Structure 1
Amino acid sequence: MKRLSGESALVTGGARGIGEAIVRTFVDEGARVMIADVLEGEGEVLRQTLGEAARFRRLDVTSGADWSTAVTETEQAFGPVSVLVNNAGIVEFGSMEETDPQVFRRVVDVNLYGPWLGMRATVPSMRRAGSGVILNVSSTAGLMGYANLGVYVASKWGLRGLTKTAALELAASGIRVCSIHPGPITTPMTEGMDASIAADQPIPRFGTPDEVAAMALFLAADATYSTGSEFVIDGGATTGSMVLAL
């Protein structure tokens, strides 16, 4: 039996990158998936490759109305939502002094307010399903600081904390909530980044979206005793500094 047979999933930022890999992995393991993204062209192309196991819905994660429609359409197509992956996110570079306040608000709106809206909209559906799993895709930037990424760091630390609070509040309803913390992953978001930033990691390379998707599958299907937990997939980047040879 496939590991997600009978599950109804909604994946934000599902049209490409990590989200696309999660969508494909979930479908391969028997789930029926609503691909949610603002990238309509790429989302529709992906849906067509997956057949009846997937639908696409345009979703601006900062819109409560969009969330309500997405959950309703997922229920109509596949039944109550049992897995939510809050994967949609954006990044902006710049020092605290250089960053425009509107940029700060936009990043936090997408990366933190969006997942909060998503959980709020989806939990009633999970209660109808009888249980659920929420996976919030944070970052190693939710575990440590990065110079010139203050806005992104703030949003990802916030998502980490929101995950823990949601886990406490939703446990009685049979809903598990965990956060995933990728390090450098080869996606459209990281195009142009210097590969050398991973050179000093214990595993000295960028990760792949499929590796993150494998983690998401484990959390959705197998990690039945985990909630409020942080799962790091970063090639060891946050482990510490390598000891210099004497």
Structure 2
Amino acid sequence: MGWLDGQVALVTGGGSGLGRALVERFVAEGARVGVLELNSDKAKQLAAVLGDSGVVTEGSATSWADNRRAVAETVAAFGRLDTFVGNAGLWDFGTSLEALPAEALPGAFSQLFELNVLGYLLGAKASIEQLRRTNGSMIFTGSNAGFYPGGGGPLYTASKHAVTGLVKQLAYELAPEIRVNGVAPGGMPTDLRGPAALGLADTAFGSMPVDQLMTRMAPLERPISAADYAGTYVLLASRENSATTTGSVHNCDGGLGVRGRKADAALMQDLFGS
């Protein structure tokens, strides 16, 4: 018996990274899963792996038509929708305001906010009718950058603070029929890319020494994989275990927000020795 037996979820950006880990964990917990995935190769590979447990829609999370089609194809395959997971996103690779070229700033802002914020709104709107029928839930992928500075540059940090606002506003608007929550992961080696306007469309977050960074920076002092974050999404999707939870963003970033004195001590050690 799984926590999500008999449920149906729809995940955006489920072809790799955190999204792929969510799809795999949801299936393991008894759910059947629809996926909206932009990359054709990832979509085909995932469809082959999922078989009868999933349906994959090729399309963009920033397209209203593609979000509607993903909901329709998921419901056509499995008869219902219980959870919408807004997950597809971009990172700005920590580009500071001073380092952002003025001529590229409007385009980078548009690309990042279009996927990280508008994409969630479009998917949420497309799924409302079906989720209301099942008294379902929405879960949005936030970030430690939605709570603290330093998890990205100003574009990413602002977009993830906006996600926190979406969670609270939509929880207010859609209660009591639909619960709305968020998950705020920390770093993990994935294929997460950056905005094309900054020349980062072909740069993957996983190309950085993420495991070393998390081991060094987070109080838990260990590498964290995408799969390590999936349990929080399962918890929030579970009616039995999160029946009273809405309007919350669950921070599961390895303790980055409380690293304070420990990080300071390590820095002092590097600078001045023992």
- Normalised by the size of structure 1, how large is the TM-score? 0.93
Quick one: distance in 2 between partners of 1:107 and 1:206? 27
SS in 2 for 1:169: helix
SS in 1 for 2:163: helix
Partner of 2:254: 235
What root-mean-square deviation, in Å, do the aligned CA atoms of Structure 1 and Structure 2 show?
Answer: 1.8
Partner of 1:165: 169
**Residue deviations 1:53-111, cap 9 Å, x none?**
11110121111111111111111111221111111001123222424210111000000
Equivalent in 129, 136, 139 of residue 140 of structure 2: 136
SS in 2 for 1:85: strand
Tell me how far 1:13 sits from its aligned partner.
0.6
Partner of 1:201: 218
Tell me how far 1:226 sits from its aligned partner.
1.0
Partner of 1:116: 121
Structure 2 counterpart of 1:228, one-letter code: G
- 2:184 matched to 1:177? no
Would the aligned equivalents of 2:189 and 2:207 in 1 still touch at CA under 8 Å?
no
- 2:26 matched to 1:26? yes
Structure 2 counterpart of 1:238, one-letter code: G
Would the aligned equivalents of 1:8 and 1:80 in 2 still touch at CA under 8 Å?
yes
Partner of 1:16: 16
Structure 2 unpaired stretches of 5+: 193-204, 267-273
Would the aligned equivalents of 2:145 and 2:151 in 1 still touch at CA under 8 Å?
no
User: Given the superposition, is the C-alpha separation of residues 155 and 81 from structure 1 closer, same or farther in structure 2, using an over 3 Å criterion?
Assistant: same
**Residue deviations 1:116-156, cap 9 Å, x none?**
11111101111122x11111001011111228611111111
User: Given the superposition, is the C-alpha separation of residues 147 and 209 from structure 1 closer, same or farther in structure 2, using an over 3 Å criterion?
Assistant: closer
Structure 1 unpaired stretches of 5+: none
Tell me how far 1:203 sits from its aligned partner.
1.1
Equivalent in 192, 197, 218 of residue 207 of structure 2: 192
- 2:156 matched to 1:152? yes
Partner of 2:43: 43
| Count of residue pairs the alignment pairs up | 244
Would the aligned equivalents of 1:186 and 1:206 in 2 still touch at CA under 8 Å?
no
